[in-house]
Structure 1
């Protein structure tokens, strides 16, 4: 394992972890992120949490091989179960679906009292996380979008604050696309949402051929609404 170099995705996540943080990395993927931060950024303490025995053993092996057992505690458990109250002030959760990340945070709310920052990287459905943050008084303070190996990832950074602050111009659009990402609109953002629109159109056309029911009608209306939001967002940039 080369802890001096992370994948582009994890390197982007690592930028948002404060150097003096006490970190919990949930679903730690061989403990790559905490090992990198401990070796290269002087991270003082980290928990690498894994829910399955195989990944837990792999993370434990890597931490021992790097001589970091005094800094990184590898723990087996579901979500935030691996954290004691007051033990960490930053949590990273990367490489899962947005709905799963939101449920992990929701199930472990009692562990968040001492946490100052959340760095979250959903593979899909970032909107699920944005909604959870608003409902639980976390303010989104930054976002990043990047492409690696043909896949596009979003990173959401959040701290305690006013959860509604970032959503000023068009909350529905900003919830779906990301308030900071809509503002910046780089090429990766445009690529992601152009592809999403094409996919929704394919689904819409398939539904057109399906038997009409209230469920399919609702699904069609939902798709039309999302396409309109994306079209409007992309036109903002073109106008």
Structure 2
């Protein structure tokens, strides 16, 4: 069987998944679940797709991979087609953070699995906020180069406060990522510095840009230097 190729952001998602049963929400082509099964990172997958075209595409790819016995493709919106407790983890990728947060909110506590891997196409700040409010800890995060830096987050349901944020300025950690700030990767440094350059001429007392600039400067202090 020839495995489908994944771009760098989905390769990063793949590497953060290991589960008995995994759901890929809004899967589109089902390439990620096919790779998960083929590489032994999941025993079973459920593909959920709302739109008829991608739904047919996903079913065709699963059939060609001869994995219909282990990958079930379901029509529906978000976590709606899943039974409570049916899956161990789920991925939602390639959407805006606001869209992903809406999918998570509509799922309700019962259908959300213990682990989530999320890849938004813009700032993941709203997802980090959602996780803190709903009992999920940020266990790992990556920043993948592409058309823009793609964030990838792994969340796990855990009791108590998330230790990832301890000892960091909260606004900066929510905006840029606590693990990423501690790792100090070059890509994040460039992103923070670009924000400072963009926001500096816009900032003034009382403006949103001033608050955002202060957040970026706090992040730069954690990183310990400029963005070059």
TM-score when normalising by structure 2: 0.89
Question: CA distance change for structure 1 residues 52 and 167 in 2, over 3 Å: closer, same or farther?
Answer: same
Quote how far apart the aligned CAs of 1:74 are. 0.8
Is the contact made by 2:169 and 2:218 (CA closer than 8 Å) also made in structure 1? no
Provide the residue aligned with 2:129 in structure 1: 131
Provide the residue aligned with 2:192 in structure 1: 193
1:35 match: secondary structure: helix
- Residues in 1 aligned to 2:209 and 2:20: alpha-carbon distance in whole angstroms: 41
Which deviates more from structure 2 when the two are superposed, residues 152-161 or residues 103-112? 103-112
Provide the residue aligned with 2:76 in structure 1: 77
Deviations 1:82-101 (A, max 9, x none): 21122101011111111111
Structure 1 residue 152 corresponds to structure 2 residue 142: no
Quote how far apart the aligned CAs of 1:2 are. 5.3
Structure 1 residue 122 corresponds to structure 2 residue 120: yes
Deviations 1:149-174 (A, max 9, x none): x3211111111113432222211111
Is the contact made by 1:126 and 1:176 (CA closer than 8 Å) also made in structure 2? yes
Is the contact made by 1:133 and 1:163 (CA closer than 8 Å) also made in structure 2? no
- Residues in 1 aligned to 2:195 and 2:81: alpha-carbon distance in whole angstroms: 36
RMSD over equivalenced CA pairs, Å: 2.1
- Residues in 1 aligned to 2:6 and 2:217: alpha-carbon distance in whole angstroms: 35
Is the contact made by 1:46 and 1:72 (CA closer than 8 Å) also made in structure 2? yes
1:79 match: secondary structure: coil
Is the contact made by 2:26 and 2:48 (CA closer than 8 Å) also made in structure 1? yes
Deviations 1:126-164 (A, max 9, x none): 01101111111111111111102x321111111111343
Question: CA distance change for structure 1 residues 2 and 199 in 2, over 3 Å: closer, same or farther?
Answer: farther
Question: CA distance change for structure 1 residues 34 and 192 in 2, over 3 Å: closer, same or farther?
Answer: same
Is the contact made by 2:74 and 2:81 (CA closer than 8 Å) also made in structure 1? yes
- Residues in 2 aligned to 1:54 and 1:101: alpha-carbon distance in whole angstroms: 21
2:144 match: secondary structure: strand
Is the contact made by 1:23 and 1:90 (CA closer than 8 Å) also made in structure 2? yes
- Residues in 1 aligned to 2:150 and 2:87: alpha-carbon distance in whole angstroms: 25
Deviations 1:33-68 (A, max 9, x none): 000111122521111111111111111111111111
Provide the residue aligned with 2:15 in structure 1: 15
Question: CA distance change for structure 1 residues 42 and 154 in 2, over 3 Å: closer, same or farther?
Answer: closer
Which deviates more from structure 2 when the two are superposed, residues 24-33 or residues 190-199? 190-199
TM-score when normalising by structure 1: 0.85
| Structure 2 unaligned residues grouped into runs of 5+ | none
1:82 match: secondary structure: coil
Structure 1 residue 231 corresponds to structure 2 residue 217: yes
- Residues in 2 aligned to 1:127 and 1:137: alpha-carbon distance in whole angstroms: 16
